[in-house]
């Protein structure tokens, strides 16, 4: 999907209320495998998953959320796909797109809100800025449209949050 606007769009994902506990990577991998099998019933059951968690200061303590990257590996351990997921209340859901890009590029927690940037795009590089927070039992995700041919990063300075755009070089730029 090609985003041509930078207007923010809100997406509300409902979650079931339950005791929130941090999951081990093996448990998250099992949830991701179940999710992936439902999304793609033809997925080879012998494919391996390599799951790593992003270490974001304050993410678990403020929001009770884990963000992971799942790398799908073939029989020879060669990566053939990857996805990023949010793990909340014992469930996983897709997060930032990695298709043809870098996926999650930066992120920080500020006042119980996770601000982040990600990039994707096959042939047309685009970056997005977004944030998510909890509203009672719902995870609310807000993301910008795509910013073309640049990478965005979010950082914290002097207690304020801001996003800086960094142009990327392309073949057209020489």
- Contact, 84 vs 67, CB < 8 A? yes
Nearest CA to 143 out of 167, 168, 163, 159 is that of 163
Say which residues have a Cβ less than 8 Å from residue 147's Cβ, sequence separation at least 6: 6, 126, 127, 128, 129, 165
**Domain range spanning residue 32?**
9-173
HEC secondary structure over the chain: CCCCCCCCEEEEEECCCCCCCCCCHHHHHHHHHHHHHHHCCCCCCCCEEEEEECCCCCHHHHHCEEEEEEEEECCCCCEEEEEEEEEECCEEEECCCCCCCCEEEEEEEECCEEEEEEEECCCCCEEEEEEEEEECCEEEEEECCCEECEEEEEEEECCEEEEEEEECCCHHHC
Give the span between the Cα atoms of 94 and 83, in whole angstroms. 7
Q: Does a structural domain hold residue 2?
A: no
Please report whether residue 79 resides in a domain.
yes
* 3 domain residue, yes or no: no
pLDDT tens per residue across all 174 residues of the chain: 333 332 223 333 333 334 478 999 999 999 998 988 888 888 887 778 889 999 999 999 999 999 999 988 887 878 787 889 999 999 999 888 777 677 888 899 988 999 999 888 878 888 888 999 999 878 999 888 887 887 888 887 766 655 555 554 443 333
Q: How many domains does the chain have?
A: 1
Query: Residue 109 forms beta bridges with which residues?
Result: 114
Pair 50, 62: CB distance under 8 Å: no
Task: Tell me the whole-structure pTM to 2 decimals.
Answer: 0.74
């Amino acid at each position: 999907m090609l985003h041509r606007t930078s207007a923010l769009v809100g997406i509300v994902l409902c979650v079931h209320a339950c005791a929130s506990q941090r999951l081990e990577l093996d448990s998250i991998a099992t949830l991701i495998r179940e999710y992936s099998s439902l999304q793609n019933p033809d997925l080879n059951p012998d494919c391996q998953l390599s799951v790593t968690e992003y270490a974001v200061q304050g993410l678990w303590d403020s929001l009770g959320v884990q963000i992971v990257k799942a790398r799908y590996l073939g029989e020879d351990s060669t990566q053939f796909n990857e996805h990023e997921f949010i793990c909340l209340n014992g469930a996983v859901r897709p997060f930032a797109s990695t298709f043809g890009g870098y996926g999650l590029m930066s992120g920080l927690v500020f006042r119980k809100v996770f601000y982040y940037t990600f990039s994707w795009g096959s042939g047309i590089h685009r970056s997005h800025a977004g944030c998510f927070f909890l509203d009672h039992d719902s995870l609310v995700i807000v993301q910008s449209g795509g910013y073309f041919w640049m990478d965005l990063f979010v950082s914290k300075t002097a207690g304020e949050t801001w996003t800086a755009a960094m142009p990327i070089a392309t073949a057209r730029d020489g």
